[in-house]
Amino acid sequence: HLNEGHAALINAERLNHYINEKGLSFNQAKEVVKSSSLYTVHTPVPAGHDYFDEDLISRYMGSFANKLGISWQQFMDMGRENPGSNERFSMSVFALNTAQEANGVSLLHGKVSRKMFQPVWKGYFAKELHVGHVTNGVHLPTWASSTVKSIYNDNFADTFIKDQSNLDVWSKIHDVADEEIWKMRMVLKGRLIEYIRTEFKEGWLKNQADPRRLMTVVDGVDPNALIIAFERRFATYKRAHLLFSDLDRLARIVNNPDRPVQFIFTGKAHPADGGGQGLIKQIIEISRRPEFLGKIIFLENYDMRLAKRLISGVDVWLNTPTRPLEASGTSGMKAAMNGVLNLSVLDGWWYEGYREGAGWSLTDERVYQDQGFQDSLDASTIYSLIENEIAPLYFDQDENGCSHGWVKFVKKSLAEVAPVYTTKRMMDDYFSKFYNVLAKRAKVIAKNDFEKAKEIAAWKENMAETWDRFEVVEVNYDCGKENRPGGIGNVLCGEVVIDKKDMQGDLGVEFVVVKHDSVTNDVKLVNTYEFDLVKQEGSQLYFKIDDTLKNPGVHQYALRVFPKNEDLPHRMDFAYVRWIS
């Protein structure tokens, strides 16, 4: 399992093993390695994908091609979207070319990844690719606080930990008294505040010029306030600056005497990320202004201890990435299993995790192409949500200080969100979607001294050698139907004759129906319809189709010829294509 492209060269060494230890050819070894490999991509951000100049690859891997029995050009091409070009070597592309399966880390990220990787398989549209998804999850025993776990243990079945992805188990949280849930939340908030006061006082003394200002900050962390946290890596696409788009409006929110709101920021920027470091500096400077002192706090020296306190002790977890650059995100999952509510853009895991009445969301629809305008709109939406929904709900408390409306949100989040985003569920998905599939195929490929691997490799070698030699003899749409592709009506009909010459394998033919978007100039796949092979005479194949469009409308179409072999796991495994005009 290759997590990120960084790990891709594992498969280079595996190829070396099967070639030099098991006596397989390069193509045979590739079948074995691919059949037991999964590549997981964790980010759509270009900076997260390694590209290396050929000179650098040559310095460290120059002799490796000889070990594999291939040319240096062939080795480099395994890491290029366009083989034969002078592109840099992409670790992600190499991983894709040596792994049978691939996945993103959320439902939305799977879609984004298919679009990102489409150039690797140029004959196919993004939505046709085999790249799937498994949404990330977090380890409940590690990230759920002891206080929360005690409630789980008291109210859930004894088998809870082993069955932690079962929503029926978590539904029992609705039977817990509101006051008990509220008390749990207040205890965790109190622990966070005490931790901040004791752990950060010394650091603030060193960095704050005015002791009076320090005491304002220390004493200002208010257990009765609504506390909202932004805790994550300070990459610019995370948009930590969003909250500071309208400082006057923000000042009114944090200084409301009836509904006090406080914000805690923490995190680190990559040493080479000047933009991220600039954001941290900006937040610290704003937090020292008189109207924000003690109301907006930046906690330095971010580590796992602080993270565990924050994800359990704050009231709301804020996440504001630029769509669709958040692959998954996991901090919000950790917060959810502690009864903290999420306020996030519908991106990454929250795109599928959001439940009405269990948190708040900013739409996934982009209103403005100009990012500055979009940022302003999103900032205004956040302010409005805090002013009109979140703060009023939190401070609608009974005579004992319990907000039953807030607890209702917490219970729904615990019952419907938390169990879906555990490591247990994630691993169940990996096994059902990928591990079991790969294990089954790998066993078949390796059986009888790699008999199937050798068979498939020989088939691919023949198809590659003869691909350009097959001939399209006839394409006929005059098949006795009044309606046909390109005309009025919904009927698909046609006949195609192909002479495959000395090609040993089989071919398939299909209608590819597309729609052109005049606004974006994109060509979008509508559907595909495969022809039936009705007969074969010598090397000539006779195909016919008589079908009905599932999505009628004004469309364009083309015919696509592809290699066909039931032993292939999917089309991308051998993505040769020829278009018939």
Whether the CB-CB separation of 394 and 315 falls below 8 Å is answered with yes
Q: Of 132, 170, 130, 77, whose CA–CA distance to 422 is shortest?
A: 170
Burial class of residue 479, CB neighbours in 10 A (0-12, 13-18, 19+): middle
**Greatest mean pLDDT among 361-365, 416-420, 547-551:** 416-420
Confidence at 486, pLDDT banded by 50, 70, 90 = very low
**Distance (Å, whole) CA 12 – CA 392:** 58
* Cβ-Cβ contacts under 8 Å for 223 (sequence gap 6 or more): 186, 189, 190, 193
Segment among 101-105, 291-295, 332-336, 354-358 with least mean pLDDT: 291-295
pLDDT at 345 over 70: yes
Tens digit of each residue's pLDDT (9 = 90 or more) over 449-470: 999 999 999 999 999 999 999 9
What was the pLDDT predicted at 488? 47
Report residue 116 CA to chain centroid gap.
Answer: 12
User: Long-range CB contacts (< 8 A, 24+ apart) of 246-249?
Assistant: 246/379, 246/380, 246/383, 247/286, 249/383
CATH assignment of 140-158+165-421?
3.40.50.2000
What order do you get walking across the sheet with 359-362 strand by strand? 296-299, 261-266, 226-231, 316-319, 341-345, 359-362
pTM of structure: 0.91
**Distance (Å, whole) CA 124 – CA 114:** 11
What was the pLDDT predicted at 214? 59
Segment among 116-130, 231-245, 286-300, 526-540 with least mean pLDDT: 231-245
Superfamily (CATH H level) for 2-135+428-462: Glycogen Phosphorylase B; (3.40.50.2000)
**Distance (Å, whole) CA 316 – CA 263:** 10
Whether the CA torsion 31, 35, 38, 44 is positive or negative: it is positive
- Type of residue numbered 332: G
End-to-end CA distance of the chain: 41
pLDDT at 209 over 70: no
Strand partners, 219: none
The answer to whether the bond into 324 is cis (omega within 30° of 0) is yes
Confidence at 216, pLDDT banded by 50, 70, 90 = low
Report residue 196 CA to chain centroid gap.
Answer: 33
Helix, strand or coil, per DSSP, at residue 159? coil
What was the pLDDT predicted at 484? 46
Task: Copy the structure tokens of residue 154.
Answer: 């008291």
pLDDT at 244 over 90: no
The answer to whether domain 2-135+428-462 and domain 140-158+165-421 are alike in fold is yes
- Average pLDDT over the chain reads 91
CATH assignment of 470-580?
2.60.40
**Domains in the chain: boundaries:** 2-135+428-462, 140-158+165-421, 470-580
pLDDT at 487 over 70: no
Query: What element of type H or E holds 31?
Result: helix 26-35
What was the pLDDT predicted at 46? 80
What was the pLDDT predicted at 217? 67
Report residue 101 CA to chain centroid gap.
Answer: 15
Task: Give percent of the chain above pLDDT 90.
Answer: 72
**Distance (Å, whole) CA 475 – CA 498:** 9
